[in-house]
A = this chain, B = another copy of it.
Amino acid sequence: MASVADASLALQAALRQVSTEIDRQFDLLLAIPDDPRQGLYRAMRHAAIGGGKRLRPLLVFGTAGLFGVNRNAIARVATALECIHVYSLIHDDLPAMDDDDMRRGKPTVHKAFDEATAILAGDCLHALAFEILADDATHPDPFVRVELVGALAHASGPSGMAGGQMMDLEAEKASFDLPTVTRLQAMKTGALISCAVESGAILGRVPPEGRTGLRGYARDVGLAFQIADDILDAEGDEALAGKKLRKDEAAGKETFLSLLGLDRAREQARLLVDQAITHLKPYGAEADLLRDIARYTLERDR
């Protein structure tokens, strides 16, 4: 067994490796064409390349890595998930939505370009995600590809991420209780995090009945991540975070932090991480990356 210090170094190495690979995939995918779409491609590259925690790709690598899946297939599926994540950030940052000027330490897409380009860049990354998954270069088995498409479409649509974002907009007008905030977050950020783990299991050809532990892990990591995000929003450093903080309180939104208080929120996140790791009991050292990712949700500063 690796010690915590070793594990942390291993995680750092994995983060670097995955970030480099995702950047490489986006660089190939988003080669700037020699026609009037250059602004569109530059906007997509601005948002997609060289930034972000790459948490969802890391979870695809961590999960698919349990089953010895081909690394090219993992990288393509991880990139498809990151396409969806990046498109959602571009659209969420728009003036009509969260109206953010900074993201990942850079101007948001509608600030660096314009609103129309930002809307289209998001729409294009959205479509690209499914184009990547449907391509036989991703996986030779159409059953695997179509299952990946179904999982990602469900996780990102009205029953998942986009539905959660709609609830989040309503949260400014209503006063949600803890079960409603939990459901909102399970959809808004949890669904895509769960989809990253699910995609790793699909690539590993784990049948649905064999995915219970991994699904439990993903659910707990997703919630712990969101609680940590709420704490970061209230206590974090804007320069380190690379974006505007203290927004939930200003908007009068109920969050895990406002509903639980700082001490209980921290305690709850720690319990969730322990529980996530317990779900990985059937796996040996090959699941150490997933264990490290679970612990990392609490330690991150951005």
Pick the contact of A116 from B97, B129, B131, B183 — CB < 8 Å? B97
Please choose the segment from A8-16, A162-170, A230-238, A242-250 that sits at the chain B interface, where 4 or more of its residues have CB less than 8 A away: A162-170
Query: 27 A-B Cβ contacts within 8 A?
Result: A37-B158, A37-B163, A39-B166, A40-B158, A40-B166, A44-B158, A91-B119, A96-B115, A96-B119, A97-B116, A97-B119, A119-B119, A123-B162, A124-B157, A124-B162, A126-B127, A128-B153, A128-B157, A128-B158, A129-B153, A130-B130, A130-B149, A131-B154, A134-B147, A142-B145, A146-B146, A149-B149
Q: State the CA gap A122–B94 with chains docked (Å).
A: 14
**A-B pairs, 5 with minimum CB distance:** A127-B157, A96-B115, A134-B150, A131-B153, A130-B153
A60 within 8 A of B: no
The quantity of this chain's copies bound in the complex is 2
- Is residue A280 contacting chain B, with contact meaning CB distance below 8 A? no
- Report Cα–Cα, A150/B148, bound state, in Å: 13
1/0 per position for A96-126, CB-CB distance to B under 8 A? 1100000000000000001111111011101
**Shortest CB distance A20–B (Å):** 24
B residues near A126, Cβ cutoff 8 Å: 123, 126-127
| B124 and A163 contacting across the interface, CB-CB below 8 Å | yes
Contact of A162 among B127, B152, B154, B174 (CB under 8 A): B127
Chain B residue contacts of A156, Cβ below 8 A: 127
A90 to chain B, nearest CB (A): 10
- Is A75 interfacial (CB 8 A cutoff)? no
Q: Could you say which of A94, A128, A166 has the most chain B C-beta atoms within 10 Å of its C-beta?
A: A166
- Among the listed B120, B123, B165, which residue makes an inter-chain contact with A120, where contact means beta carbons less than 8 Å apart? B165
Chain B positions within 8 Å of A122 at CB level:
123
> Interface size (A, Cβ < 8 Å)?
59
Residues of chain B with a CB closer than 8 A to A87's CB: 123
Chain B residues near A119 (CB, 8 Å)?
A: 91, 94, 96-97, 119
Q: Which of B91, B96, B116 contacts A123 (CB 8 A)?
A: B91
Q: Contacts A120-B165, A122-B123 known; list 7 others, CB within 8 Å.
A: A41-B158, A96-B118, A96-B119, A97-B119, A117-B169, A134-B150, A134-B153
A120, B166: Cβ atoms closer than 8 Å: yes
CA distance A180 to B37 in the complex (A): 12
Does A133 sit at the interface, judged by CB under 8 A? yes
A208 in the interface (beta carbon within 8 A) = no
A31-50 contacts to B (CB < 8 Å): 35-37, 39-41, 44
